[in-house]
């Protein structure tokens, strides 16, 4: 969601802030702003809409400064407009603040501040915080101490950056539940809510932890807990380059990331398959693999696309590992007082590693003594740091809001974990080798499907004006139906629903007519004949059928209006292949509707607030 950037050094901060905000556009936002300090003079520019509008206004105002902070806002409290945009400021305009997160007790704080004479311009919870800090500065506290004391009164989540004309050589930052990272340069330092905003300038970063506050100068920084304890922070090297977060000649990040999936899956599997032993090697689970294998129950928790991957993981683990698996929405799991035992293992899946609900659920499970494992893509993310152990997907940066390679690499990692546990239990070395051989072929099979891009684009032309879609699958491919429907509605704004194919007769069949496109995921597997029967039922009611089928299947051609043939593999790996045509179909429909597929309306890449 919201994005934070900041700069302090010897350069003009404004173009650096604008560039950083552009790098964060993919996270989703509705307004933007920057605040800068030049000597004892503070200035700000805010705008509703895109960063490009902010850039034009900043250029027109001609502001320059060597210290500044910038923000992209995704509305939580108050509608999207310039007044509610960040930075917020005190009455004298000597103090500027940007904030990601939610101040839950803002009404109580606001009432107290009004009694002190403070007036509020915006509808946001964030403005409360800038006035609270100002109230402490009026009591002769320095900026660092004023921020720290204020945060001790706050209930909720925050990633903040604060600057003041009274102390114009520093930025104060603090974190609780919202990501924040410090970038280390030569006689200049940076801040951001996402490493992507920094990598054009530095490869060295410091990850802020919850309840930490830091003072950043041009040539140094110091950190404490908000309870006033000194903290030594470690500097990390970022293994990412600028090319990875550019489009590389593709018209959209989403298409680039769809096309990157063969390599992304290779990277997920690389060095982790031991063919001679028929087992997976996962260094991130070292010391915990036996405990995982001996768990009485595995609970997988996630949101959105990651939740769909978790559903596939449930099928994998129950079939091959023989362990009962439950899949939970993190947003529900954290609030319903779940029963968690110490012999349970919990897997938390998140592309960003910063998903607020998933992170909160992880902390609760950890508090209750369960084994807590993370599956995420972002190195150094909160989930990666909070977990007992875990596995990185190594998908590389994913900029498009609609997840594609995150999903297929999450499935790859879940397959690796399944193989590891299964071999520790009852699956033979022979069967383990067969699974590995199939896994090794998956990247090439994805490449073969991607070669059908033009064919899928032509199919998409027929559905630009559709208003509804139905996606149906069975077994391992039921979660793929959910994911296919999600992709279409996310970026094309066409209403779409995914169902188990057999459930069609329990309601959705009432919707079938000559205007209803129905996507069937029907590879040749153990439930193929059942799916064919479902196709017959739709055909009898004149539904428009798109079939995702095995390349050697000739039977289905006479039953469907459009068929997309894909290579075969074993059942547990089939979702990695069947989802690819659905990603391309959604992409091309949205593009042909003239929509912004990388930044769909109302959506954020990483949901870091509730």
Q: What angle separates helix 574-592 from helix 429-450, to the nearest 10 degrees?
A: 20
| Averaged pLDDT, 132-150 | 96
Q: pLDDT, tens digit, for every residue of 88-99?
A: 999 999 999 999
Active site residue 119: no
Lowest mean pLDDT among 248-252, 309-313, 592-596: 248-252
Give all domains of the chain, ordered by start, each with its CATH number. Answer: 3-243 (3.60.20.10), 270-448 (3.40.50.10490), 452-610 (3.40.50.10490)
Closest CA relative to residue 77, chosen from 92, 93, 88, 66: 88
- What percent of the chain has a predicted confidence (pLDDT) above 90? 67
Label residue 77 by pLDDT band (50, 70, 90). Answer: low
- Whole-number Å distance between alpha carbons of 49 and 53: 7
Residue among 567, 563, 562, 556 at smallest CA distance from 534: 556
What does the pLDDT read at residue 505? 76
What tens digit of pLDDT does each residue of 540-585 get? Answer: 888 899 999 999 998 899 999 999 999 999 999 999 999 999 999 9
pTM of the model: 0.77
Over range 497-523, report the average pLDDT. Answer: 87
Predicted pLDDT at 198 = 87
Give the pLDDT score at 217. Answer: 96
Residues 243 and 250 sit within 8 Å (Cβ to Cβ) = no
Query: Does residue 603 surpass a pLDDT of 80?
Result: no
Rounded to 5°, angle at Cα 355 from 351 and 359: 110
* Mean pLDDT of the 518-529 span: 91
284-295 pLDDT tens trace: 998 999 999 999
| Helix 429-450 and helix 261-269, axial crossing angle in degrees, nearest 10 | 160
Mark whether 22 is an active-site residue. no
**Catalytic one among 2, 22, 170, 487?**
2
Residue 300 near residue 313 (C-beta atoms within 8 A): yes
Name the catalytic one among 48, 176, 565, 605.
605
**Position 455 pLDDT exceeds 80:** yes
Separation of alpha carbons 280 and 269, rounded Å = 9
Spell out the alpha helix ranges (H) of 118-251.
Answer: 126-137, 143-151
Report whether 597 contacts 548 (CB < 8 A). Answer: no
Task: State the pLDDT at residue 212.
Answer: 95
CA distance 65 to 34: 11
Question: Per-residue pLDDT tens for 102-117?
Answer: 898 999 999 999 999 9
* Count of beta carbons in the 10 Å neighbourhood of residue 506: 10
pLDDT value at position 185? 93
Average pLDDT for 220-228: 93
């Amino acid at each position: 969601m919201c994005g934070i950037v900041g700069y302090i050094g010897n350069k003009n901060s404004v173009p650096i802030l604008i560039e950083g905000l552009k790098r964060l556009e993919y996270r989703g936002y509705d307004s933007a702003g920057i605040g800068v300090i030049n000597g004892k003079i503070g200035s700000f520019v805010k705008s509703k809409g895109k960063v490009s509008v902010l850039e034009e206004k900043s250029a027109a105002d001609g502001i320059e400064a060597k210290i500044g902070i910038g923000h992209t806002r995704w509305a939580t409290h108050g509608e999207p407009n310039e007044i509610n945009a960040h930075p917020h400021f005190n009455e004298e305009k000597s103090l500027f603040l940007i904030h990601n997160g939610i101040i839950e007790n803002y009404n109580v704080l606001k009432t107290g501040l009004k009694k002190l004479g403070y007036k509020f311009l915006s509808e946001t919870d964030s403005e409360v915080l800038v006035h609270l800090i100002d109230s402490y500065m009026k009591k002769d506290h320095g900026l660092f101490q004023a921020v720290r004391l204020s945060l001790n009164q706050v209930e909720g989540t925050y990633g903040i950056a604060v600057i003041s004309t009274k102390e114009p050589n520093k930025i104060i930052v603090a974190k609780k539940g919202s990501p924040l990272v410090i970038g280390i340069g030569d006689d200049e330092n940076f801040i951001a809510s996402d490493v992507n905003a920094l990598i054009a300038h530095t490869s060295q970063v410091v990850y802020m932890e919850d309840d930490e506050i830091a003072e950043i100068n041009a040539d140094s920084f110091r950190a404490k807990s908000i309870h006033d304890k000194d903290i030594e922070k470690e500097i990390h090297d970022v293994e990412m380059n600028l090319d990875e977060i550019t489009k590389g000649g593709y018209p959209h990040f989403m298409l680039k990331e769809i096309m990157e999936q063969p390599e992304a899956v290779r990277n997920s599997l690389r060095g982790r398959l031991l063919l001679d032993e028929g087992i997976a090697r996962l260094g991130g689970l070292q010391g915990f693999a036996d405990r995982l294998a001996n768990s009485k129950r595995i609970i997988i928790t996630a949101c959105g696309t990651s939740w769909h991957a978790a559903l596939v993981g449930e099928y994998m683990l129950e079939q091959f590992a023989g362990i009962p698996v439950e899949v939970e929405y993190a947003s529900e799991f954290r609030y319903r007082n779940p029963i968690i035992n110490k012999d349970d293992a919990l897997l938390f899946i998140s592309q960003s590693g910063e998903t607020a609900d998933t992170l909160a659920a992880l902390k609760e499970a950890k508090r209750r003594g369960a084994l807590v494992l993370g599956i995420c893509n972002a190195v150094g993310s909160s989930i990666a740091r909070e977990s007992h152990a875990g596995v990185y997907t190594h998908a590389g940066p994913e900029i498009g809001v609609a997840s594609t390679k995150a999903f297929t690499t999450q499935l790859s990692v879940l397959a690796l974990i399944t193989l590891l546990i299964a071999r520790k239990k009852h699956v033979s070395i022979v069967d383990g080798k067969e699974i590995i051989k199939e896994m090794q072929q998956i990247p090439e099979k994805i490449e073969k499907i991607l070669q059908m891009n033009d064919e899928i684009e032509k199919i998409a032309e027929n559905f630009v004006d559709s208003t509804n879609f139905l996606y149906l699958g069975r077994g391992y491919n039921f979660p793929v139906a959910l994911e296919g429907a999600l992709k279409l509605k996310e970026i094309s704004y066409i209403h779409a629903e995914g169902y188990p194919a057999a459930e069609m007769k329990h309601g959705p069949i009432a919707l079938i007519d000559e205007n209803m496109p129905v996507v069937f995921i029907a590879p040749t597997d153990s439930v193929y004949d059942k799916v064919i029967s479902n196709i017959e039922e739709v055909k009898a009611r004149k539904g428009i059928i798109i079939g995702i089928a095995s390349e050697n299947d000739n039977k289905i051609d006479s039953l469907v209006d459009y068929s997309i043939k894909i290579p075969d593999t074993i059942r547990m790996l089939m979702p990695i292949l069947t989802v690819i045509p659905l990603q391309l179909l959604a992409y091309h429909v949205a593009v042909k509707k003239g929509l912004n597929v990388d930044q769909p309306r109302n959506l954020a890449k990483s949901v870091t607030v509730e």
